[in-house]
Amino acid sequence: MVRLSDRFSRAVFRRIRATSPDRAAGMEAERHRLAALSVARAFGMAIHPKATRCRFNWDGVALYGATEAFVILHEVAHFTLAPPERRGLVEFGLGPGPDTLDRAGAERAVTLSPLEREADEAAASLLGIIWEAALGQPALASFLDQNWLEGLEGSAPAHFTAVLAMLRRSGAFNLPLAPSASTAPRRGRGPRCLSRWPSPLLRHSES
């Protein structure tokens, strides 16, 4: 925290830090998954039926939804950050991810250089983690698993701040629907609907 250079970075990190470092399990994990799927639908992503055997997390048409919430939110982040031409490619033209079954097929679809892929992965990683925090899910677990504390005494704070600044410039914090889902009915609407309240995390400014 003390090595972060601006108020916005500290505010985002504070929200992540306040979440659980442990993955959810059982019914709680399923509630998180359904909330993440509601976010995916709100951003216009089609989702394969749960029983579908998918070779990719994203096959250029629809999302593999029978996975953990943090994986789904990571893929939604890739979708929102990708230009239209890459949304139609398997794994967004980034190559195979940890869960990709058809690794050769994903490699054939790659369109970015290694450095561009690394930058895109960092942006999607942090945006997905921020959405986990906004949803009250264990964002800190993802923050730790995805190595955001590597180089804590040197590069980690600067890298976090730089990626966060890039996300702000991209307009990722000005999306039309705040990623704040609820599994409880509210005001006559059904479960797993997307709430339209603006997240304080995304409204925070440096002023």
Residue 154 confidence (pLDDT): 73
Residue 175 confidence (pLDDT): 61
Q: Let me know how long the chain is.
A: 207
Residue 51 confidence (pLDDT): 84
Q: What is the rounded CA–CA span in Å between residue 160 and residue 178?
A: 22
Residue 171 confidence (pLDDT): 84
- Residue 150, phi-psi category: left (phi > 0), alpha (psi -120 to 50), beta (remainder): beta
Q: What is the mean pLDDT of residues 143-167?
A: 89
Q: What is the mean pLDDT of residues 173-197?
A: 41
User: 100: buried, middle or exposed (CB in 10 Å: 19+, 13-18, 0-12)?
Assistant: buried
pLDDT tens per residue, range 26-64: 999 999 999 999 999 999 999 999 888 899 999 999 999
Residue 186 confidence (pLDDT): 34
Residue 194 confidence (pLDDT): 37
Confidence of residue 1 (pLDDT cuts 50, 70, 90): confident
Residue 119 confidence (pLDDT): 95
Is 10 a residue whose pLDDT tops 60? yes
Residue 173 confidence (pLDDT): 76
Q: What is the mean pLDDT of residues 62-86?
A: 95
* Residue 40 near residue 154 (C-beta atoms within 8 A): no
Residue 153 confidence (pLDDT): 66
Structure tokens at 31: 């509630």
Q: What is the rounded CA–CA span in Å between residue 101 and residue 58?
A: 11
Close Cβ partners of 70 (under 8 Å, ≥ 6 residues apart) = 23, 36, 128, 129, 132, 137, 138, 141, 142
pLDDT tens per residue, range 97-112: 888 999 999 999 999 9
Report how many helices (DSSP H) and strands (DSSP E) the chain contains, helices first. 9, 4
First to last CA, the chain: 19
Residue 140 confidence (pLDDT): 97
Please give the residue that has the higher pLDDT: either 81 or 197.
Answer: 81
Q: What is the rounded CA–CA span in Å between residue 6 and residue 66?
A: 38
